[in-house]
């Protein structure tokens, strides 16, 4: 049996010790060997280098390939966010990326962003656990994006970033090839 997990992907605070870190006690009738894996074969070096900024410890070593630099932009208005989202989606589609996600911290932010760009008929909202993602452009909260991967990701972040922000790490590491990060205040009137 092989059990694999990334402790950096935890988005819920830990109240107790993680069972995964003590499998020898949980599986006491089995021989348990632990191996620490700190290498990423999925995202580009640029994406992993960016994501590592949000980890205090256990940074991930990117191995596979170089790619585009991460685009990080501060936006001052909803109009600027809308035009930036449209540009990024257009650019990613023009490059042939098939799975594109606009990822927001929570469902409320995802709803606002989805309404902002709703006239684009090829953009879907993934807002229920029972929905299946089958490709294309989707707006999704970080919770529903966890565990998924996309060719291109646009993170819309409306919170002040902390030095250690595992949710930003999770959102950034959903991207395989390209990552845009837009920082903005979603409190603007729509």
Count of domains for the chain = 1
Residue 149 lies in a domain: yes
CATH (domain of 113): 3.40.50.300
8 A C-beta contact, residue 176 and residue 17: no
Neighbouring residues of 132: CB distance < 8 A, sequence distance ≥ 6: none
Residue 114 lies in a domain: yes
Question: pTM higher than 0.95, yes or no?
Answer: no
Residue 93 lies in a domain: yes
Residue 20 lies in a domain: no
d(CA 91, CA 41): 25
Q: What is the pLDDT along the chain (190 residues), one digit of tens a residue?
A: 776 666 556 655 554 566 666 777 778 888 887 766 666 667 899 999 999 888 877 777 767 688 999 999 999 998 999 999 999 999 999 999 999 999 998 889 999 999 888 876 577 777 665 566 667 899 999 888 888 899 999 999 987 655 557 889 889 999 999 999 999 877 644 4
């Amino acid at each position: 049996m092989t059990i694999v997990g990334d402790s950096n992907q935890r988005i819920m605070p830990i109240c107790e010790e993680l069972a995964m870190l003590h499998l020898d006690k949980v599986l006491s009738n089995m021989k348990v060997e632990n191996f620490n894996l700190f290498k990423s074969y999925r995202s580009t070096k640029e994406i992993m280098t960016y994501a590592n900024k949000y980890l205090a410890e256990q940074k991930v070593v990117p191995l596979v390939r170089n790619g585009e630099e991460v685009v990080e932009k501060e936006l001052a208005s909803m109009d600027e966010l809308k035009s930036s989202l449209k540009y990024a989606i257009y650019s990613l589609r023009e490059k042939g990326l098939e799975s594109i996600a606009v990822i927001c911290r929570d469902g409320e932010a995802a709803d606002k962003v989805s309404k902002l760009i709703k006239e684009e008929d090829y953009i879907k909202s993934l807002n229920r656990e029972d929905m299946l993602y089958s490709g294309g452009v989707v707006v999704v909260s970080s919770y529903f994006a966890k565990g998924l991967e996309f060719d291109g990701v646009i993170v819309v972040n409306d919170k002040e970033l902390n030095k250690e922000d595992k949710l930003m790490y999770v959102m950034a590491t959903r991207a395989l090839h390209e990552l845009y990060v837009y920082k903005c205040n979603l409190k603007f009137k729509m």
